[in-house]
Protein backbone atom coordinates (compact mmCIF):
# COMPACT_ATOMS: atom_id res chain seq x y z
CA UNK A 1 0.00 0.00 0.00
CA UNK A 2 1.51 3.27 -1.16
CA UNK A 3 -1.38 5.70 -0.73
CA UNK A 4 -4.04 6.39 1.86
CA UNK A 5 -6.74 5.59 -0.71
CA UNK A 6 -5.24 2.10 -1.07
CA UNK A 7 -5.45 1.75 2.71
CA UNK A 8 -9.13 2.74 2.64
CA UNK A 9 -9.79 0.23 -0.15
CA UNK A 10 -8.20 -2.52 1.96
CA UNK A 11 -10.22 -1.43 4.98
CA UNK A 12 -13.36 -1.65 2.84
CA UNK A 13 -12.53 -5.31 2.18
CA UNK A 14 -11.96 -6.05 5.86
CA UNK A 15 -15.20 -4.34 6.88
CA UNK A 16 -17.15 -6.29 4.26
CA UNK A 17 -15.51 -9.56 5.29
CA UNK A 18 -16.41 -8.92 8.94
CA UNK A 19 -19.95 -8.09 7.90
CA UNK A 20 -20.25 -11.31 5.86
CA UNK A 21 -18.89 -13.40 8.74
CA UNK A 22 -20.72 -11.43 11.46
CA UNK A 23 -17.30 -10.98 13.07
CA UNK A 24 -17.10 -8.55 15.98
CA UNK A 25 -13.68 -7.49 14.75
CA UNK A 26 -15.82 -5.40 12.42
CA UNK A 27 -16.76 -3.06 15.28
CA UNK A 28 -13.23 -1.68 15.44
CA UNK A 29 -12.68 -2.06 11.69
CA UNK A 30 -15.67 0.06 10.70
CA UNK A 31 -14.70 2.80 13.13
CA UNK A 32 -11.05 2.73 12.10
CA UNK A 33 -12.00 2.93 8.44
CA UNK A 34 -13.76 6.21 9.22
CA UNK A 35 -10.68 7.43 11.11
CA UNK A 36 -8.62 6.82 7.98
CA UNK A 37 -11.14 8.70 5.85
CA UNK A 38 -11.05 11.59 8.32
CA UNK A 39 -7.24 11.70 8.17
CA UNK A 40 -7.35 11.64 4.36
CA UNK A 41 -9.78 14.57 4.39
CA UNK A 42 -7.44 16.42 6.74
CA UNK A 43 -4.46 15.80 4.47
CA UNK A 44 -6.37 17.08 1.45
CA UNK A 45 -7.38 20.16 3.45
CA UNK A 46 -3.80 20.77 4.59
CA UNK A 47 -4.64 20.41 8.27
CA UNK A 48 -1.39 18.81 9.37
CA UNK A 49 2.09 20.23 9.90
CA UNK A 50 3.50 18.01 7.14
CA UNK A 51 0.76 16.44 5.04
CA UNK A 52 2.89 14.05 2.92
CA UNK A 53 4.54 12.85 6.12
CA UNK A 54 1.13 12.37 7.74
CA UNK A 55 0.06 10.18 4.83
CA UNK A 56 3.16 8.04 5.35
CA UNK A 57 2.44 7.80 9.09
CA UNK A 58 -1.19 6.89 8.49
CA UNK A 59 -0.27 4.19 5.96
CA UNK A 60 2.30 2.61 8.30
CA UNK A 61 -0.10 2.90 11.24
CA UNK A 62 -3.03 1.32 9.40
CA UNK A 63 -0.82 -1.39 7.95
CA UNK A 64 -0.10 -2.73 11.42
CA UNK A 65 -3.81 -3.40 11.98
CA UNK A 66 -4.35 -4.71 8.46
CA UNK A 67 -1.34 -7.05 8.66
CA UNK A 68 -2.38 -8.27 12.12
CA UNK A 69 -5.92 -8.95 10.88
CA UNK A 70 -4.78 -11.01 7.88
CA UNK A 71 -2.13 -12.86 9.89
CA UNK A 72 -4.73 -13.80 12.51
CA UNK A 73 -7.06 -15.16 9.85
CA UNK A 74 -4.35 -17.56 8.67
CA UNK A 75 -3.09 -18.57 12.11
CA UNK A 76 0.19 -16.68 11.93
CA UNK A 77 1.90 -15.19 14.96
CA UNK A 78 0.88 -11.66 15.92
CA UNK A 79 1.37 -9.41 18.93
CA UNK A 80 -0.37 -10.59 22.08
CA UNK A 81 -2.25 -7.27 22.27
CA UNK A 82 -3.95 -7.90 18.93
CA UNK A 83 -4.44 -11.60 19.60
CA UNK A 84 -6.36 -10.83 22.78
CA UNK A 85 -8.54 -8.33 20.91
CA UNK A 86 -9.25 -10.73 18.06
CA UNK A 87 -9.84 -13.71 20.36
CA UNK A 88 -12.32 -11.64 22.39
CA UNK A 89 -14.27 -10.91 19.20
CA UNK A 90 -15.31 -14.57 19.06
CA UNK A 91 -17.15 -14.22 22.37
CA UNK A 92 -20.67 -12.90 22.83
CA UNK A 93 -19.88 -11.95 26.44
CA UNK A 94 -18.34 -8.53 25.77
CA UNK A 95 -19.95 -5.18 25.08
CA UNK A 96 -19.45 -3.31 21.83
CA UNK A 97 -17.41 -0.72 23.73
CA UNK A 98 -15.09 -3.43 25.05
CA UNK A 99 -14.34 -4.58 21.51
CA UNK A 100 -13.67 -1.00 20.40
CA UNK A 101 -11.36 -0.28 23.32
CA UNK A 102 -9.45 -3.52 22.85
CA UNK A 103 -8.71 -2.42 19.30
CA UNK A 104 -7.77 1.08 20.44
CA UNK A 105 -5.55 -0.37 23.16
CA UNK A 106 -3.47 -2.46 20.74
CA UNK A 107 -3.42 0.14 18.00
CA UNK A 108 -2.62 3.29 19.99
CA UNK A 109 -0.62 1.91 22.90
CA UNK A 110 1.59 -0.33 20.75
CA UNK A 111 1.23 0.28 17.01
CA UNK A 112 1.27 4.07 16.91
CA UNK A 113 4.67 4.48 18.51
CA UNK A 114 6.16 1.92 16.15
CA UNK A 115 4.61 3.60 13.11
CA UNK A 116 5.90 7.01 14.22
CA UNK A 117 9.46 5.74 14.54
CA UNK A 118 9.27 3.98 11.16
CA UNK A 119 7.97 7.20 9.59
CA UNK A 120 10.88 9.22 11.00
CA UNK A 121 13.71 6.77 10.31
CA UNK A 122 16.93 8.80 10.00
CA UNK A 123 15.16 11.98 11.14
CA UNK A 124 14.37 13.71 14.43
CA UNK A 125 11.40 11.93 16.03
CA UNK A 126 10.42 15.07 17.97
CA UNK A 127 9.46 16.76 14.69
CA UNK A 128 6.40 14.54 14.29
CA UNK A 129 4.96 14.98 17.80
CA UNK A 130 2.38 17.58 16.72
CA UNK A 131 0.93 15.41 13.96
CA UNK A 132 1.24 12.36 16.20
CA UNK A 133 -1.08 14.11 18.65
CA UNK A 134 -3.47 15.15 15.88
CA UNK A 135 -4.04 11.61 14.63
CA UNK A 136 -4.78 10.63 18.23
CA UNK A 137 -7.26 13.48 18.45
CA UNK A 138 -9.11 12.10 15.42
CA UNK A 139 -9.32 8.70 17.12
CA UNK A 140 -10.36 10.27 20.41
CA UNK A 141 -13.12 12.38 18.83
CA UNK A 142 -14.68 9.34 17.18
CA UNK A 143 -14.51 7.23 20.33
CA UNK A 144 -16.03 10.08 22.36
CA UNK A 145 -18.89 10.33 19.86
CA UNK A 146 -19.49 6.59 20.14
CA UNK A 147 -19.60 6.89 23.94
CA UNK A 148 -22.06 9.79 23.71
CA UNK A 149 -24.29 7.83 21.34
CA UNK A 150 -23.77 4.38 22.86
CA UNK A 151 -27.43 4.27 23.90
CA UNK A 152 -28.38 3.54 20.29
CA UNK A 153 -26.33 0.34 20.50
CA UNK A 154 -26.38 -0.48 24.23
CA UNK A 155 -29.50 1.08 25.81
CA UNK A 156 -28.55 0.21 29.39
CA UNK A 157 -24.93 1.35 29.15
CA UNK A 158 -25.77 4.51 31.14
CA UNK A 159 -26.20 2.24 34.16
CA UNK A 160 -22.68 0.96 33.63
CA UNK A 161 -21.35 4.51 33.76
CA UNK A 162 -23.48 5.44 36.79
CA UNK A 163 -22.47 2.50 38.96
CA UNK A 164 -18.80 2.31 37.95
CA UNK A 165 -17.19 5.43 39.33
CA UNK A 166 -14.01 3.86 40.68
CA UNK A 167 -10.80 4.72 38.88
CA UNK A 168 -9.89 1.07 38.84
CA UNK A 169 -12.60 0.38 36.28
CA UNK A 170 -10.51 0.53 33.12
CA UNK A 171 -13.48 -0.03 30.81
CA UNK A 172 -15.18 3.16 31.90
CA UNK A 173 -12.03 5.20 32.46
CA UNK A 174 -10.00 4.20 29.38
CA UNK A 175 -8.46 7.49 28.29
CA UNK A 176 -7.35 8.28 24.75
CA UNK A 177 -5.33 11.17 26.18
CA UNK A 178 -3.41 8.89 28.55
CA UNK A 179 -2.98 6.31 25.77
CA UNK A 180 -1.56 9.03 23.51
CA UNK A 181 0.89 10.19 26.16
CA UNK A 182 2.00 6.63 26.84
CA UNK A 183 2.35 5.93 23.13
CA UNK A 184 4.61 8.94 22.66
CA UNK A 185 6.83 7.92 25.59
CA UNK A 186 7.07 4.45 24.08
CA UNK A 187 7.92 5.92 20.66
CA UNK A 188 10.89 7.75 22.18
CA UNK A 189 12.08 4.62 23.97
CA UNK A 190 11.60 2.54 20.84
CA UNK A 191 13.57 5.04 18.73
CA UNK A 192 16.49 4.70 21.12
CA UNK A 193 16.28 0.90 21.50
CA UNK A 194 19.21 -1.21 20.38
CA UNK A 195 16.97 -4.25 19.88
CA UNK A 196 13.65 -3.28 18.29
CA UNK A 197 12.11 -6.74 18.60
CA UNK A 198 12.90 -6.86 22.30
CA UNK A 199 11.46 -3.37 22.81
CA UNK A 200 8.24 -4.31 21.02
CA UNK A 201 7.98 -7.54 23.03
CA UNK A 202 8.34 -5.73 26.36
CA UNK A 203 5.78 -3.10 25.41
CA UNK A 204 3.40 -5.76 24.11
CA UNK A 205 3.46 -7.54 27.48
CA UNK A 206 2.47 -4.33 29.27
CA UNK A 207 -0.32 -3.52 26.82
CA UNK A 208 -1.57 -7.10 26.98
CA UNK A 209 -2.15 -6.64 30.71
CA UNK A 210 -4.34 -3.63 29.92
CA UNK A 211 -6.22 -5.74 27.38
CA UNK A 212 -6.86 -8.41 29.99
CA UNK A 213 -8.26 -5.70 32.28
CA UNK A 214 -10.63 -4.62 29.52
CA UNK A 215 -11.70 -8.21 28.87
CA UNK A 216 -12.18 -9.11 32.52
CA UNK A 217 -12.77 -5.99 34.64
CA UNK A 218 -13.76 -5.91 38.33
CA UNK A 219 -16.46 -8.21 39.69
CA UNK A 220 -19.08 -5.46 40.08
CA UNK A 221 -18.49 -4.23 36.55
CA UNK A 222 -18.66 -7.76 35.14
CA UNK A 223 -22.18 -8.08 36.51
CA UNK A 224 -23.21 -4.75 35.00
CA UNK A 225 -21.63 -5.70 31.68
CA UNK A 226 -23.76 -8.85 31.67
CA UNK A 227 -26.89 -6.78 32.32
CA UNK A 228 -25.97 -4.18 29.68
CA UNK A 229 -25.14 -6.94 27.20
CA UNK A 230 -28.70 -8.24 27.36
CA UNK A 231 -29.83 -5.06 25.60
CA UNK A 232 -27.26 -5.33 22.79
CA UNK A 233 -29.63 -7.48 20.80
CA UNK A 234 -28.86 -6.22 17.33
CA UNK A 235 -26.91 -8.36 14.89
CA UNK A 236 -23.22 -7.69 14.23
CA UNK A 237 -23.93 -6.12 10.79
CA UNK A 238 -26.62 -3.88 12.33
CA UNK A 239 -24.24 -2.70 15.04
CA UNK A 240 -21.53 -2.08 12.43
CA UNK A 241 -24.02 0.02 10.47
CA UNK A 242 -24.88 2.03 13.58
CA UNK A 243 -21.22 2.62 14.40
CA UNK A 244 -20.66 3.72 10.82
CA UNK A 245 -23.50 6.23 11.09
CA UNK A 246 -22.13 7.68 14.32
CA UNK A 247 -18.66 8.02 12.83
CA UNK A 248 -19.99 9.48 9.57
CA UNK A 249 -21.92 12.12 11.52
CA UNK A 250 -18.75 13.13 13.35
CA UNK A 251 -16.78 13.37 10.10
CA UNK A 252 -19.55 15.40 8.45
CA UNK A 253 -19.38 17.77 11.42
CA UNK A 254 -15.61 18.05 11.02
CA UNK A 255 -15.97 18.86 7.33
CA UNK A 256 -18.47 21.67 7.99
- List the domain boundaries for the chain: 4-255
Task: Give 155: exposed, middle or buried? Use CB within 10 Å, 0-12, 13-18, 19+.
Answer: middle
Max Cα separation, the chain? 52
The C-alpha atoms of residue 39 and residue 185 are separated, in whole angstroms, by 23
Q: How far is CA 51 from CA 22, 134, 139, in A?
A: 36, 12, 18
Q: How far apart are CA 248 and CA 255, in angstroms?
A: 10
Eight-state DSSP code of residue 108: I
Nearest CA-CA partner of 185 in 135, 132, 142, 139: 132
Per-residue model confidence as pLDDT tens digits over 40-53: 999 999 999 999 99
Using an 8 Å Cβ cutoff, are 151 and 194 in contact? no
pLDDT truncated to tens, each residue of the chain (256 aa)? Answer: 889 999 999 999 999 999 999 999 999 999 999 889 999 999 999 999 999 999 999 999 999 999 999 999 999 999 999 999 999 999 888 888 889 889 989 999 999 999 999 999 999 999 999 999 888 888 777 777 776 666 666 666 655 555 555 433 445 445 566 777 889 999 999 999 999 999 999 999 999 998 998 888 755 555 555 555 555 567 899 989 988 888 887 777 766 6
The C-alpha atoms of residue 91 and residue 78 are separated, in whole angstroms, by: 19
pLDDT of residue 157: 62
CA distance 49 to 70: 32
According to the model, what pLDDT value does residue 233 have?
62
Q: 13 to each of 10, 45, 56, 186, 219, how far by Cα in Å? A: 5, 26, 21, 31, 38
Quickly count: other Cβ atoms within 10 Å of residue 253's Cβ.
10
CB 25 within 8 Å of CB 69: yes
Distance CA 4, CA 230 (A): 38
Q: In angstroms, rounded to a whole number, what is the distance separating the alpha carbons of residues 31 and 53? A: 23
Report the pLDDT value the prediction gives residue 175, as an integer from 0 to 100: 59
pLDDT of 97: 83
The answer to whether the CB of 232 falls within 8 A of the CB of 154 is yes
DSSP code, position 1: -
What pLDDT was estimated at residue 169?
Answer: 46
| Contact in structure between 53 and 14 (CB atoms under 8 Å) | no
Instruction: Output the pLDDT for position 182.
Output: 87
Q: How far apart are the first and last CA of the chain?
A: 30
Amino acid sequence: METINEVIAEMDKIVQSCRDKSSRIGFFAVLYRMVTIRVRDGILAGEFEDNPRMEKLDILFAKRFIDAYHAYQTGQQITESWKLAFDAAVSTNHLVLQHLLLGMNAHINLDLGIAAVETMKGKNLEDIEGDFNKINQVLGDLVDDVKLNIGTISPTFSRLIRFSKGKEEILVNFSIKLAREGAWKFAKRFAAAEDESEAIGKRDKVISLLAKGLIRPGLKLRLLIWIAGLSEWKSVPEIMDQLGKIAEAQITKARA
